[in-house]
Amino acid sequence: MHHFAYKAGVLHAEDVDLSNVAKSVGTPLYCYSTATLQRHYRLLAEAFEGQNALICFAVKANSNQAVLATLAQLGAGMDVVSEGELRRAMAARVAPEKIIFAGVGKTRSEMAYALKQGILGFNVESEPELRALNEVAGELGRKAPIAIRVNPDVDAKTHAKISTGKSENKFGVPFAEARALYDLAAELPALDIVGIHMHIGSQITDLAPMRAAFTLMRQLAKELLAAGYQLRHLDLGGGLGIPYDAKDPLPPHPRDYAAIIVECLGDLGLELVLEPGRIIAANSGVLLTRVIHVKEGADRTFLIVDAAMNDLLRPTLYEAHHDIWPVREDLKSMPPVVQDIVGPVCETGDYIALERSLPPFSEGDLVAVMAAGAYGAVMSSTYNSRPLVPEVLVNGEDFAVVRPRQSYDELIGLDRLPDWPA
């Protein structure tokens, strides 16, 4: 569900006319709905009502300060995977004790910075990381709170590039080796064992793999508790999917997701830490782009727009589907045309949609790429020396530019010429 709808023949974000946003800010641009962000966070929070649960938004999904601050005001913690994300979370006034630091390649300097901030914990992914964190914490005279990420070798039945819980994936330690690593951690003086972590993938639409992973987590938790480990939380990861294609079956509701978690883990007396990203942010945003040309090729029609793969990478990286809506409602009633929506970047992979039956757009028409609020702007680049596009946040009748369009001077000014003679 989202708060994008037609009013008076024009697509609106909440009560804001998107054609007016495009006129004011220019295209392409990302536009986010505050109401959608709030609704989706509250749906998750309500699903876990009565449970000791902390929702840590996955900053990698959307790291805009305004988005993070909106969620923080509702009580969200943050799941970060770099010092940059940690700094963003803290700049959005998220309390450090509500921040989890995940990721397979934390550097020693990142570890030190996070320790000094007093974060909730580190999700440790390997023995070398465990030993490095112990050394860094010892040098600082601190104890690092840790959970070990366990790889359950469970197929999440999602795209291969966002599956993280199989044995061939780089994430976590094999389930069979987890107990031994916990025993090693207990011997390292600067570590404080506080939990267990699992995360099996993203855009998951079948709860069966999650049940399988949580069952293994329960087994390990009971074993560790029986051995005297003072666990405080279970970090369950995220991964719950959203309906990118309106024709697809609806994915599991957060209530069903919560029911499985409570069934598998609710009687252990441990805090539940969740790391949702996509389910909160994806439907909160659209990518707004304008038609530059309509090109009739030998085999198909190309709709050339001013957004490109550097602005939205998901279609070419994941073969991902995004619904396409015209900003003018009247276009929806016109006979559709099979067409490719492509951008100006010099790559065959520069597309937003392929062989899609869509309204007969014309030069200058505005197009909304739906469900672009997660893994959209955050994955963008300046390939082809295209400046980063602006991000806009809507709240009721108001909108604000929450990341301005990068200027060419800012883009080129990042470079430095060497001072040696020509």
Catalytic residues: 346
- Distance, CA of 117 to CA of 40 (rounded, Å): 29
- Distance, CA of 379 to CA of 136 (rounded, Å): 31
Q: What is each CA distance from 190 to 127, 130, 395, in whole angstroms? A: 14, 10, 46
Q: What burial class does residue 252 get, using C-beta atoms within 10 Å of its C-beta: 0-12 exposed, 13-18 middle, 19+ buried?
A: middle
Q: How is residue 116 written in tokens?
A: 């000094």
Q: How is residue 381 written in tokens?
A: 């680049």
Rounded to a whole number of angstroms, the CA Rg of the chain reads 23
How many CB atoms sit inside 10 A of residue 220's CB? 20
Q: Residue type for 34, please?
A: T
CA 414 from chain centre, in angstroms, equals 27
For every residue of 72-132, DSSP letters joined together read: HTTT-EEEESSHHHHHHHHHTT--GGGEEE--S---HHHHHHHHHHT-SEEEE-SHHHHHH
With residue 296 as reference, give the H or E element that holds it.
strand 285-296
Q: What burial class does residue 132 get, using C-beta atoms within 10 Å of its C-beta: 0-12 exposed, 13-18 middle, 19+ buried?
A: middle
- Tell me if 173 sits within 8 A of 181, measured CB to CB: yes
- Distance, CA of 128 to CA of 59 (rounded, Å): 25
List b or e across 41-61, with b for residues whose CB sees 16 or more CB atoms inside 10 angstroms.
Answer: beebbebbeeeebbbbbbbbb
